[in-house]
Amino acid sequence: MTNERYERGWEKLLEVDGDGGQRVMDSLSDIAPDLGKYIIEFTFGDIYSREGLDLRQRELITIASLTTQGGCEAQLNVHINAGLNVGLTAGEIVEAIIQCAPYTGFPRVLNAVFEAKRIFKERHFI
Amino acid sequence: MTNERYERGWEKLLEVDGDGGQRVMDSLSDIAPDLGKYIIEFTFGDIYSREGLDLRQRELITIASLTTQGGCEAQLNVHINAGLNVGLTAGEIVEAIIQCAPYTGFPRVLNAVFEAKRIFKERHFI
Amino acid sequence: MTNERYERGWEKLLEVDGDGGQRVMDSLSDIAPDLGKYIIEFTFGDIYSREGLDLRQRELITIASLTTQGGCEAQLNVHINAGLNVGLTAGEIVEAIIQCAPYTGFPRVLNAVFEAKRIFKERHFI
Amino acid sequence: MTNERYERGWEKLLEVDGDGGQRVMDSLSDIAPDLGKYIIEFTFGDIYSREGLDLRQRELITIASLTTQGGCEAQLNVHINAGLNVGLTAGEIVEAIIQCAPYTGFPRVLNAVFEAKRIFKERHFI
Amino acid sequence: MTNERYERGWEKLLEVDGDGGQRVMDSLSDIAPDLGKYIIEFTFGDIYSREGLDLRQRELITIASLTTQGGCEAQLNVHINAGLNVGLTAGEIVEAIIQCAPYTGFPRVLNAVFEAKRIFKERHFI
Amino acid sequence: MTNERYERGWEKLLEVDGDGGQRVMDSLSDIAPDLGKYIIEFTFGDIYSREGLDLRQRELITIASLTTQGGCEAQLNVHINAGLNVGLTAGEIVEAIIQCAPYTGFPRVLNAVFEAKRIFKERHFI
C-alpha cells in the first residue's frame, strides 16, 4: 500500500540517491521490505523533504554523520554519490570528510576518503 | 612559542567559537596546555582555515559529527554557539541535528537538541 | 495535524513509556516539535506497533541497544521504566543489561545498571 | 587445564553457537588461545548459563547489542545462526534488528539485515 | 561463594583500583552483585593477573580504551586513579590521553583530560 | 611546501609505520594530499615526537585506541606492524588487545586479534 509520504519519499530518494537508493530498496525486498518502506517514508518522505536546509547542505551533514558513525562504508557510498547528484563537487565532499578529522579522528576520516576515492575513480574524476 | 599556524588558529578560534573556545583553552592551561595548542593549530589554524567550504557549512558538519560521535555535549555547546556566531540560525542548527536522526538514531539526536535548547534559552531565543 | 500513525503512536507511547514519554514530548515542544512527532509516528506508530515480537521482547531489545549505544542514560531511564510498564521484572531488566557485557564491555553495562538502580530506588524496589 | 566453568561454557557454546562458535575457537588457537578460553568461560560458562532469561531472549539481546555496536558482522553471523539454533524464527531475528532502528539509525540496521540475508540464503530460507 | 579467581581478582582490584574499585563493588551489591563478581573474577582475576605486560602498561592501555570508548567518565575516574596507584605519573597519564587524539578526535580526549584534571585537583597535584 | 614539523613527522612516520605509512600517504596523493600532510605533521610531527612516553608505549596506546574505536582494521594493520617495528613483541601486542576486552567487549577484541593474526602469518611468526 502506497501513501503520500511513501510517494513523496520515493520521488526524493530517486532525486537524491538515484540508482544507489533503488539498489538498496531492491536488496531489501526479500528480507525486510518494511525496512525499505520506513527508509523511504521517514528518511526521504519526512526528513529530506523538510524545508530549512537545501539538499546540498543535507548531504554534507549526512556524509559527516556517516563518516563519524563508522563502519558505514556502504551507506557512505550511496551518500557520496548522492552528494554529487545534488550538486556538491568532489572537492566539497572531500572537504566535508576532512572537517570531521578533529572530532572523530583520522581512521574514520581515512575510511570515508578511501570510499570517496573508489567512487571518484568509477566516475573517472581521478 | 607562537607561530603562524597558532596565530591564524587563535584568530579563527575567536571568530568561530568566541568565548566558549577561549574558556576551553583556559581550562587546559594547568593540565595539558599542549593539547590546547594542538586544537588551536590543527583544528583552527589548519582545518577551519581551509578554503572549499564556508564557516557556516563547516559548523553544520561539526555539529553533525559531534551529534553522531555521542557523549560530546560540552563540545556541542561550544559548536552550537559557534554556529550562531558564524551566521547559522537557530532553526538551521536544529535542522542539522534532526537530519542526523536516520543515521545515528533518536537518542543522540535528542541529546544534541536538548543541548541546543539550553543554549537557546540562555540566549533568550526561546 | 494528527493522522492515523500519530494517533496509533501516541497511544502506544502512553502504553509503553507512560509519563516518561510524555515528558520527552513536552520538552521538545518549544525547540523541535517535529522531532517529537517523528518519534511518536516512527518509533511508536510504526516500529512498536509491529507484530512478530511482543512489547516485553521489544523493551529487552531497546534496553540492550541503548546500553550498547552509550551516552544514552536519559533514554535508558525512559525505557527501563517502559520495561517495567509492559511487564518485565526488575530482575529481567538487570539480566538483559548484564547479557550485553561480553559484547560491549563493562563500562557501558555499569552505566546502564546504575541508571536501573536510580529507577528501582525511586520506585522503592530496593 | 579445563574446569567446571570451561566445561559448562563449552557445552553451552555448542548448544548456542554450534559450528560457528567452534570455528571461532579454532581460529584463535594459534594466536590467542586464552582469549578463546575467556569467551567460553565468561560468555558461555558465566553469562549464558545464568537463569532469569531463556536462550531465545538472550540471543535477541545479543543480536541487538551487536547490531548497535557496529562493525561486528562476523559476530552477528555467529549469533544470527545461534538465534536460529535456539529456536528464534528468521522473522523474529529480522524483527529484533528492525527494533534497533530508532535507537542506532538505519546504517547499522542495514548492515545487520544484510548479514541476516546472507545467512538465510545459505540456509535456503529465502 | 568465593574461589581462587575471585580471591586473586579481589587482591588485584585492591592493588590496582584501591578505594575506587571497592566503591564500585559496594554500589553493585544491592542491584547486581553478580556483575561485581564478574568484574573481580574476569577483569582482575583473569586479565590483570596475566603476565606479558606490567600493571603500568595495562593501565595505559585501559585509559586509552576508556578514553576512546567515550561516555565512560566514571570508569576513567577509577582507572586514572589506578594508574597513579600502580606508579604512572600524572604526566604519563595525560600523555596517554593525548596520544589518542589522532585516533578518536579531540572531544573524547578533552573529556578524559578534564576527568584527569578533577582527580589531580582532588589529589592536590595541580 | 615542506616545513620542520613535516620533516620531523615524515622521519618519524618512516621510523614507526615504515612501508605501511608510506603506502597510506601514496594512496591519499590523488584524492586528499592535505589529509596525508596533516597526518604526517600532527600525528607524527607533533604527537609521536613528544617526550614522556616511548614509542613502544605509544604503540600499545594506539593499538588499544584503534581496537576500541572499531571498524579501523586498515589502521590496526599499520599500527600492529608499527608496534613490531618499534620493538614490541607479537605477544605484547596480543596482550594489549586482550587487555581491552573488559572495556570494549569481545567482538572488537576479536576483530583486532584476527588482524594481528593476518600480519603474524605474513611475517611467518605463526
What is the DSSP track for E56-73? Answer: HHHHHHHHHHHHHH-S-H
Substitution target in F5, F92, F103, F109 with the highest count of E β-carbons within 10 Å is: F103
Q: What is the pLDDT at residue B2?
A: 62
H helices of C17-105, in order, are: 19-28, 33-38, 55-69, 73-85, 90-99, 101-104
B110 interaction partners in chain C (CB closer than 8 Å): 24, 28, 35, 74-75
Q: What is the pLDDT at residue B21?
A: 87
pLDDT by residue for chain A (126 residues), tens only, comes to 569 999 999 999 999 998 888 899 999 999 999 999 999 999 999 999 999 999 999 999 999 999 999 999 999 999 999 999 999 999 999 999 999 999 999 999 999 999 999 999 999 998
Closest chain D C-alpha to B66 CA, distance in angstroms: 15
Rounded Cα distance between B38 and D54, Å, is: 51
Residue numbers of chain F with a pLDDT score lower than 70:
1-2
Q: Which of F42, F47, F68 sits opposite E65 (nearest CB)?
A: F68
C62 interaction partners in chain D (CB closer than 8 Å): 64, 99-100, 103
Residue F22 makes CB contacts below 8 A (sequence gap 6+) with F13, F14
Rounded Cα distance between D4 and D7, Å, is: 5
E106 interaction partners in chain A (CB closer than 8 Å): 102-103
Closest chain C C-alpha to F109 CA, distance in angstroms: 10
Q: Computed over its alpha carbons, how large is the radius of gyration of chain C?
A: 15
CB distance B51 to B21 below 8 Å: no
The DSSP H or E segment spanning A38 is helix A33-38
* Residue-wise pLDDT tens digits, E37-49: 999 999 999 999 9
* Residue-wise pLDDT tens digits, E58-93: 999 999 999 999 999 999 999 999 999 999 999 999
Residues of D (74-113) whose Cβ lies below 8 Å from B: 101-107
C106 interaction partners in chain F (CB closer than 8 Å): 102-103
* Residue-wise pLDDT tens digits, B60-101: 999 999 999 999 999 999 999 999 999 999 999 999 999 999
Mean residue pLDDT of chain B comes to: 96
Cβ B34–F50 below 8 Å, yes or no? yes
Tell me, yes or no, if the pTM score tops 0.90. yes
Q: What is the pLDDT at residue E90?
A: 98
Does domain D53-126 correspond to CATH entry 1.20.1290.10? yes
Closest chain E C-alpha to B30 CA, distance in angstroms: 7
Q: What is the pLDDT at residue A21?
A: 87
Q: Classify the phi-psi angles of D3: left when phi > 0, otherwise alpha if psi is within -120 to 50, otherwise beta.
A: beta
* Residue-wise pLDDT tens digits, C8-24: 999 999 999 988 888 99
Rounded Cα distance between E22 and B23, Å, is: 35
Give the residue on B whose Cα is nearest the Cα of A51.
B95
How many beta carbons lie within 10 A of that of residue D41, not counting itself? 24
Closest chain E C-alpha to B39 CA, distance in angstroms: 8
Substitution target in A110, A119, A120 with the highest count of F β-carbons within 10 Å is: A110
Please tell me the number of Cα atoms within 13 Å of A106 on its side-chain side: 26
Closest chain A C-alpha to C1 CA, distance in angstroms: 14
* Residue-wise pLDDT tens digits, B86-95: 999 999 999 9
E35 interaction partners in chain C (CB closer than 8 Å): 98, 101, 106, 109-110, 113
Give the residue on B whose Cα is nearest the Cα of A48.
B99
Q: What is the pLDDT at residue C2?
A: 62
The DSSP H or E segment spanning A2 is none
Q: What is the pLDDT at residue D112?
A: 98
Give the residue on B whose Cα is nearest the Cα of A50.
B95
Closest chain B C-alpha to A13 CA, distance in angstroms: 14
F106 interaction partners in chain C (CB closer than 8 Å): 102-103
ipTM score assigned to the predicted complex: 0.97
Mean residue pLDDT of chain C comes to: 96
Residue numbers of chain D with a pLDDT score lower than 70:
1-2
Rounded Cα distance between B7 and A111, Å, is: 31
Residues of C (19-38) whose Cβ lies below 8 Å from A: 34, 38
Task: Taking residues C49-60, report their average pLDDT.
Answer: 98
Q: Computed over its alpha carbons, how large is the radius of gyration of chain A?
A: 15
Q: What is the pLDDT at residue C19?
A: 87
The fourth-level CATH superfamily of domain B1-50 is AhpD-like (1.20.1290.10)
Chains that touch E (3 or more CB pairs under 8 A): A, B, C, D, F
Closest chain E C-alpha to A111 CA, distance in angstroms: 12
Closest chain C C-alpha to D47 CA, distance in angstroms: 6
| Chain A interface includes C51 (CB < 8 A) | no
Rounded Cα distance between E14 and A96, Å, is: 47
Q: What is the pLDDT at residue E2?
A: 62
Please tell me the number of Cα atoms within 13 Å of B42 on its side-chain side: 32
Q: What is the pLDDT at residue C105?
A: 98
Chains that touch B (3 or more CB pairs under 8 A): A, C, D, E, F
| Chain F interface includes B46 (CB < 8 A) | yes
Task: Taking residues C28-53, report their average pLDDT.
Answer: 97
Cβ B96–A53 below 8 Å, yes or no? yes
Q: What is the pLDDT at residue F2?
A: 62
Q: What is the pLDDT at residue A19?
A: 87
Rounded Cα distance between F11 and F18, Å, is: 10
The domain segmentation of chain F, as residue ranges, is: 1-50, 53-126
Rounded Cα distance between F21 and F11, Å, is: 11
Cell numbers of B103, please? 543515521
Please tell me the number of Cα atoms within 13 Å of A110 on its side-chain side: 26
Cβ A31–D117 below 8 Å, yes or no? yes
Assess whether the region C1-50 and the region C53-126 belong to the same CATH fold: yes
- Cα angle: E34, vertex E39, E45; to 5 degrees: 115
Burial of residue B65 (number of CB atoms within 10 Å: 0-12, 13-18, 19+): buried
Q: Which of E31, E70, E75 sits opposite C113 (nearest CB)?
A: E31
Q: Which of B39, B95, B103 sits opposite A62 (nearest CB)?
A: B103
Give the residue on E whose Cα is nearest the Cα of C70.
E71
